[in-house]
A and B are shown apart, each in its own frame.
Chain A
Amino acid sequence: MQSLEVLSNLFTYSNILSVVFGVVIGLLIGMLPGLTANLGVALLLPVTYGLEPTSALLLLVSVYTSAIYGGSFPAILINAPGTSASAATALDGYVLTKQGKFNTAIRVSTFASVFGGMISGFALLFIAPPLSLISLKFGPAQYFMLAVFGLTIIGTLSSGNFVKGLIAGTVGLFLSTIGSDLDSGYPRFTFGFSGLLSGINFVPAVIGLFSMSQALILSEDPLKTIQLNKFKADTWKFLPKFFEIQKVFLNCCVSSIVGVLVGILPGAGGDIASWVSYNEAKRFSKNKSEFGQGSLKGIAASECANNAVTGSALIPLLTLGIPGSTTAAILLGALLIHGLLPGRELFTTNGNITYSVIWGFIFANIFMGFVGLSVAKYFGKIAKIPNYFLAPAIIILSVVGSYAIGNNVQDVYTMVIFGLLGYLMRKLNYPPAPLILGLILGPIAETGFRQSQILAKDSVVVYILNNSISLVLFVLTIVSILSAVYFELTKKTNYEKDIS
């Protein structure tokens, strides 16, 4: 009965339109080198304000999954991964393109992406509801520790710059305290500006950090165009062949499990999953030498894993409110905008919305494959859109998008300022994702801490750690910090990259 309700809720005119629009936009964004899934989701966040929660979330998750898939096109055809998650795909994909076998490469990457995306959708469907039961046992102390643990994700979101990531995250936490104090109503750090009393709206901040800053980066090389003469549109063969699927099927099964597991880990995104999966596929292959020489298994491993992350990254997000990737952090904001709080309620009171979104996500992955293969032959034209058109278009959309949030110019100024901040952060190798995470998790951490202070009879630290869930979260926090420090110390090359 509930399934019928979910299906009737899912197949409405606006939901179908959201999936179609999301898939097409996501593919376009993924196909354009330099544009990322983060940018797409951030840019479309204000667009969802006027939509029903189901349609809004369907639009965003469709953009997310299809942008990751779309990134495989430039990786295979021009050796320029559209997203960082497709970097491993370029190793074998471009070799096949040089051999004139771009058809095969695209067909296999499409099959693998759809397969991985669907498996992650089912993982989300079956793992998230039972996991959400844990959230019922959460009180102020547990929520505080959860927020602290969420913030240690900063280490993994920082791509090697652990200290810079922590600085960005802590600044985000601090920025979340700007505005009237919820308890006393006292204005904090407003310096007389009445516009700051309600605090910093994180949606324009997200648009600025991810979209506006990207437009400024594209402006650095406005005349950049992509040379495409490797393939002709009229030689395009549409459907995947049986022997191609047979060759990579087992590989896809293993890679999707790897992708799902990596996605559940907070902070580990599609790029990590695709490299881990690629390396594992190579390690267990009988013919290791084919990897890097145009291996279909290599393409399948990378593409299957990065799309398998998209659904599983939503598992910690929907159940506990911890984003599994940078894009999931932006999606957390989308949930809050539509009045949906992560936890058990999402699967009970709001179950109709959540299950519709999960099923919609699975259908979006199938639809994405068909659209991807249909538009593949036009890739040449899409990829040739020059930066001098993209950059102003992104800026104008960012301005109108941030205005649409609350019909006030202050949000637009916030977006523009965060745009410059994001641009400077990128130039100085300060990752912008932790700042957003800090802005989102700040109020949760502060509320949990202050409520614990009130409830604690003696020491607040003793009160917070005096239960098993908080203790587990505390241990996980320590492990998360130590592992990030370990990676920082063992990967000196990252810092070398920073200054070179």
Chain B
Amino acid sequence: MTSEVIGRSAARRVWQVLLQVGIVPLALLFLFPFFWMLSNALRSDAEVFASPPRLLPHVFLWGNFVQAWRYLPFGRFFFNSFVVATAITAIVLVVSSLAGYAFARIRFRGRGSLFVVYLATLMVPQSVIVIPLFLMMSWLGWVNTYQALIIPMAFSSFGTFLLRQFFLGIPPELEEAAMLEGASRLRILLSIFLPLSTSALGLLAQFTFIAQWNSFLWPLIVVQGPEHATIPLGLTLFQGQQGTQWNYMMAGAAISMVPGLLLTGLLHRYIFKGIAIGSGFGGR
């Protein structure tokens, strides 16, 4: 019995080491496209398709990052993406907190069915509504403006759903005490619920920001020219009439990752905690 257990645990230890060692090459392989992106960002245009390709550039052209920034108004794209993603994130946080609270705590007739409608809108893909949305923007005269990039994208019910789930887990006793003291609903939301929900809010902020930072279809349709172009749109602008600038494009792609990485560095402790909340979907 004991020797069997020891044998088993020895086998388990070997297995454990194998798992630990095996994941390293896998992770390296997984990272290859990033390596390739950087390696191509740093080489000359002619070297990108030289055959046979070299793993590393012949000469490291660090200046490509500056060139990419100059070749197209990449600073402008960066600024646009930042403005749009930040504005949408801010609106989503406010709107979803209010609605999430209403669904979690305020009882009113039709709440259940209204919530089902909210959930159902999660199924509506963007590509199904972009044509009427574009026409709407045309009529409003909003084509090629910031408001067109921001407003129509700021009302996903995902945030409402996520925050509702989180708010439901907050002990009602806290709220009842405040109510007895005559605090208003808004006051309760602001001073009790939101401070207790930083992880959910952080998660929502981060996911909204990244999703909007990476968003492509809507800017592609509602923007023309670099003035209001966002980063993903800007990346495709490298495929201009004068030939695709792969090296600059890769430099641009590398630059485009920076804000997401920074944000995750700032908020990473929220992600993991918060993400389990989402898994309650459909569990009502």
Q: Do chains A and B interact in one complex?
A: no
A residues lining the B interface (CB < 8 Å): none
B residues neighboring A (CB under 8 Å): none
